Structures are given as C-alpha cells and as structure tokens.
C-alpha cells in the first residue's frame, strides 16, 4: 500500500472541470483470445462494464490469419473452430473490430522488435504485405458473421496506406490516433496538430468514409482510480465536449487484482456527473466537423 498516495488522496480529492463533458468508450487491443485464463477475464470485464454502464466495450481482435496468433494457437492447442467459438461468446458482451499487427518476415521471430512493422517503418516498404494480411483478416472475421466496422492499429500503426485500406474495406471507425505522449506515431500526431484537433475531438480525414475517435487514456493498473482523473486533468483543452476511448490490452486484466482495479475504475468514473459512456453504435449519431489532410 502506497501510504503517501493514500494520504494525498485523503487531502485532495481529484475532480473534473464542471463545464466539460467526458464521454468514454472502452477498447481492448485483444491479443490473447487463445489463452483461456485471459479470455475468461476479458469476458468478466465486458459483462461488468455492460452492467455498470449499459454500454458495450469494443474488442479489436487479431485473427488466426495473423502468423503470431496462428503460432500461439498451436502452442496452446486451440483450434480455429475453438477460436471462433470464443469470439462468438465475446460478441455476446462486446463489439468486435480488427486489430492489425504486421511483420516484415514470417521467417524471423515475431517477438523481435526489428521484425515488427511500426509507425517508424517506411510507409510503403511493406505495402503489399500489409494490405494482403489486413484484407485476409477482415475477410476471415466477416465470413464468420462478425460485422467489422472498426480498426485500431497495433503499435499505433496508422498512415496513408492504412487509411486507404480502411476505406477500401469499408471500415467506418478508426481508434488509432491519440495525443497521449506514450503513443508513438509522429505522422499521426503531426497531422492532428496541423488540423488543430483538440483532445477528445472526433474527426475525419480526406478519406471521408472513416471517422477517427481518439484514445484519451490508458487504464492505469493502480489501486487508486483517482490517478486516472489526475492524469486526465493534464489534458484539458478548449474542447468542452470530450469524447474518446479508454484503451488497454486484454492481458492487462488477466490477474484478479488487475481485473478488480479496472472494474473499480469504471465504478469510480460513474460517480462524476460530467462522465458518461458510449458504445460503438452510439457513434453513428456523433457530428464530425474537423478533418485532417493526408499528404
Ligand atoms: Zn496490439
């Protein structure tokens, strides 16, 4: 127990600005469907989230068409049908989207950072490879009945090539942009700054069929949900209508302690009159005024 922090929060109760509305969605970068313990915890969180907020979490998933997932399914003895059954179960409590992670070579280790395609990788060097896997994964999900309308990039991977793919594959919502300092995508952040996109503003790009919803916060693995509000307050801006995502990974809630902390955060946030939650379906009603330019 961090006694200093406990005393601090006894003396200072963090509050949110009274004139700002915060609307949060909750998104998982879902990478361990094949691991039963992690999967069961994910289901428990999504059920709790729905009970507490009346809204659905969004799980953007990697599929058996991703070579790393295929390899880990083999290690854990999970068949493609079992993987599909788990996704069906997850879809009872959460919306399903696509989470893309891409590699330079299937012959090298997927864990080797040099082999991962990230925002630092040249846009067009692996263009056809990324496009081919992206399309194959989205088709895999759609062929099994999941209506995939959303994407979030692994490693915050979004660039003009990905925007082309989102449009081509008729994906309406992207969740890869963020102004948070721990999100490392210089191209995306520069594009937002040029268009003066504020913290918590939704926007489009020149690919007008796609709406971009920002990641506003992570889900701090902390005994103090007050930490969330304290950090959030650092990002207040001229935008009084703040809408965006709380983003985490499925494996960040795989222990009992971290699952309890994440659920406690939702309970805590509900008590603020300025805070509400939304599901993917609610975004259809959201007006979008701003636009970034793509070079
Ligand atoms: Zn990821």
Tens-digit pLDDT profile for residues 198-247: 999 999 998 789 999 999 999 988 889 999 999 999 887 778 899 999 99
Answer whether residue 1 shows pLDDT above 60: no
Rounded to an integer, what distance in angstroms lies between the CA atom of residue 222 and that of residue 145? 37
Q: Which two tokens mark 161?
A: 């090539």
pLDDT digits 0-9 by tens, 9-56: 877 788 899 999 999 999 999 999 999 999 999 999 999 999 999 999
Q: State in Å: Cα 102 to ligand 1 middle.
A: 10
DSSP state of 178: B
Residue 181 CA to ligand 1 centre (angstroms): 17
Contact 251, 162 (CB under 8 A): no
**Ligand 1 center to residue 231 CA distance, Å?**
23
The predicted structure's pLDDT at residue 82: 98
How much distance in Å is there from the Cα of 290 to the middle of ligand 1?
A: 27
Q: How far apart are CA 58 and CA 29, in angstroms?
A: 9
In the chain the domains, ranked by start, together with CATH numbers, are 14-291 (3.20.110.10)
Distance from CA of residue 240 to its chain's centroid?
Answer: 22
Is 211 in a helix, a strand, or coil? strand
Which residues are close to ligand 1, an ion, with C-beta < 5 A? 29, 154
Neighbouring-strand partners of residue 21? 241
d(CA 176, CA 158): 6
CB 287 within 8 A of CB 70: no
The DSSP element (H or E) to which 53 belongs, if any, is helix 36-53
The per-residue pLDDT for range 91-119, each reduced to its tens digit, is: 999 999 999 999 988 888 888 888 888 88
């Amino acid at each position: 127990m961090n006694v200093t922090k406990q005393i601090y929060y006894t003396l200072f109760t963090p509050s949110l600005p009274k004139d700002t509305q915060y609307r949060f969605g909750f998104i998982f970068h879902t990478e361990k469907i094949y691991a039963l313990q992690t999967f069961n915890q994910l289901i428990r969180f999504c059920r709790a989230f729905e009970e507490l907020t009346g809204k659905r979490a969004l799980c953007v998933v990697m599929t058996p068409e991703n070579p790393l997932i295929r390899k880990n399914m083999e290690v854990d003895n999970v068949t493609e049908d079992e993987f599909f059954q788990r996704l069906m179960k997850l879809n009872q409590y959460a919306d399903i989207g696509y989470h893309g992670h891409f590699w330079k070579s299937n012959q090298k280790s997927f864990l080797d950072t040099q082999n991962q395609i990230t925002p630092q990788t040249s846009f067009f060097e692996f263009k056809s490879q990324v496009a081919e896997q992206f399309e194959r994964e989205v088709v895999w999900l759609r062929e099994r009945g999941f209506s995939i309308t959303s994407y979030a990039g692994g490693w915050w991977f979004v660039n003009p090539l990905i925007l082309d793919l989102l449009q081509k594959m008729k994906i309406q919502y992207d969740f890869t942009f963020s102004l948070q300092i721990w999100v490392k995508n210089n191209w995306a952040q520069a594009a937002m700054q040029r268009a003066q996109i504020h913290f918590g503003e939704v926007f489009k790009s020149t690919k007008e069929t796609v709406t971009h919803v920002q990641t506003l916060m992570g889900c701090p693995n902390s005994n103090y949900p007050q930490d969330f509000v304290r950090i959030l307050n650092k990002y207040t801006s001229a935008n009084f209508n703040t809408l965006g995502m709380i983003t985490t990974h499925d494996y960040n809630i795989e222990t009992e302690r971290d699952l309890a902390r994440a659920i406690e955060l939702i309970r805590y946030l509900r008590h603020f009159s300025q805070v509400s939650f939304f599901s993917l379906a609610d975004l259809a009603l959201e007006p979008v005024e701003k636009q970034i330019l793509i070079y």
